[in-house]
Structure 1
């Protein structure tokens, strides 16, 4: 019994079970596999502010996005920000919400944030640790309650934070290079 290549699931020895026999395109970047994504080594978490860290997973300088784990270990307001492009999030531990909405992103929740929306991220009392996977496209523009710009983060500021942190903790500034694509 053969399977349809590209559509089926091969369960026995067949042509479908053979690996691709040709080289990858010469300019193709290598895959990026990070295991474990939630590290045991605390040095891999880059401090963002007190009790807030991110763990870079992919920093795409070519496309202007980053994926990371955001970890918060204290309740309170994290940031008010706006995105010019979409953001995807998946809650791995704990929960969080936005002051501007009536929903709570709990463990296992997927969140799609639309371009242009401004929101204020809050981790409520009783949440000991929140970890969320985020893919941020473009930038995070930090604003005051009236929308006045207070600062921003993009893939390049994230890389700079990583370089400084990894150098300070003895991993070396170039440690971040493995996440660059």
Structure 2
């Protein structure tokens, strides 16, 4: 018995197991389309609290989406440059952002790097809005999960690939 195994403590009987997910950036099947030159790789769906975590990749310069958050969002830039039309900062690798509930913005990839890769943690739904701020649609943990499940079925990864991401 090694030192680490003696120190481990069992989970309480009703606790959910940890989720450990290795992302294969080269396996295109794991990435669902989020629009032209935009890909999303979900990492975690928390169906009890209504939140999810994903990596968003975009190539080129342009608007990704315009939306409002009724719940907070955090983001961490892995590669590239991006920002919001409504703000004057530019996120670069290593930039962490916190968006409070109520934030409405237009996410776009900045041309400086020609791409972006960002880890986002959505603590609630996204309300898509038009240029006047009027809601045009929404996405929550269940609609996002359904889209990813359908994507994984269509590329041959199957339901088990998605099921392991749900807690």
Instruction: Provide TM-score, normalisation by structure 1.
Output: 0.85
Q: CA deviation at 1:43?
A: 0.6
Alignment of 1:3-152 (within 5 A): 18-21=6-9, 23-35=10-22, 37=23, 39-152=25-138
Counting matched residue pairs gives 166
User: CA–CA distance in 1 between the matches of 2:53 and 2:28?
Assistant: 18
Larger RCO (alpha carbons 8 Å, 6+ apart): 2
Could you list the runs of 5+ residues in structure 1 that have no partner in the other structure? Answer: 1-12
Instruction: Please name the residue that 1:9 is paired with.
Output: none
1:162–1:173 contact (8 Å) kept in structure 2: no
Q: CA deviation at 1:24?
A: 1.6
Q: CA deviation at 1:59?
A: 0.5
Which of structures 1 and 2 has the bigger CA Rg? 1
User: CA–CA distance in 1 between the matches of 2:117 and 2:134?
Assistant: 28
User: CA–CA distance in 1 between the matches of 2:57 and 2:147?
Assistant: 16
Cα distance, 1:126–1:103 mapped onto 2, change above 3 Å = closer
Instruction: Please name the residue that 1:173 is paired with.
Output: 159
Which piece of structure 1 moves more, 70-79 or 85-94? 70-79
Q: CA deviation at 1:38?
A: 5.0
Cα distance, 1:38–1:106 mapped onto 2, change above 3 Å = farther
User: CA–CA distance in 2 between the matches of 1:91 and 1:80?
Assistant: 19
2:72–2:123 contact (8 Å) kept in structure 1: yes
User: CA–CA distance in 1 between the matches of 2:57 and 2:24?
Assistant: 10
What is the root-mean-square deviation in Å for CA atoms of aligned residues? 1.8
